[in-house]
Amino acid sequence: MSDLKVRLLNHTKNPDRICAAAAQSCYSEQGAGELFDGTTDERAKKMIKKVVGMGHLSVVEHAHFTFSVEGVSRSLTHQLVRHRIASYSQQSQRYVGMSKAEYVFPPSIAGDPEARKAFSEAMDNAWKAYRLLAKTVPKEDARYVLPNACQTNITVTMNARELWHLFSLRCCRRAQWEIRMMAWKMLSEAKEAAPILFEDAGPPCFRGPCPEGDYSCGKPYKKGVLPSEEELMVESAKPTD
């Protein structure tokens, strides 16, 4: 199973008001500094909804969020770094020894005795080979035998616009199970820090019709309701087509 942990380490101070002031400054003779001082949560919500609804998403790029994502697979991070408007710092397999067998066990495999046996044997063999190689060759070469399931940690910094994009793609039931769980955890943390910026963030079905067409799961999430971890674990055992 996954030991996935997500923690919001830091973020732009007053992110909702910062973005609202930036948006207002485009239409005002006043600078963002003066507008920021006079911006209430109610005014920020009204302004952000207006400009985001008009497609002026650049104004939410002024808010940045840094997350620690731990206990995830290299399979997940290979997907995550496709979100290119971000900064990443990942645990190095070159400098950090991987002699302890720590890997992510997909729930769909864990629930099938035959698949679980085959998967466990493959992991055991991979780490046996790694430990043997690491005795005579550099870790940077021994790591070549390690699987995508190998656990890793990564630090992620994104602006609010890129987070919106990530949540739209990765909170969807069509997303791969592990990165979907990570995205929902990140969204929960982001909503707590910036409730106005992320009020409508999440899968596209939060905001309207599903864009997946024939590939739609047919089971839209209830708008604004974040699924529990138990619900996500049940979903994760049922891979997407």
Among 170, 173, 174, 207, which one carries the catalytic annotation? 170
Compute the C-alpha angle 56/174/77, nearest 5°. Answer: 80
Alpha helices in 69-207 (DSSP H): 74-80, 107-110, 113-134, 139-142, 160-170, 177-193
Residue 170 known to be catalytic: yes
Q: Are strands 87-90 and 5-11 parallel, antiparallel or unpaired?
A: unpaired
Q: Are strands 5-11 and 64-73 parallel, antiparallel or unpaired?
A: antiparallel
CA dist list (Å): 73 to 22, 57, 149, 179, 200: 38, 31, 5, 9, 29
Q: Which residues are catalytic?
A: 170
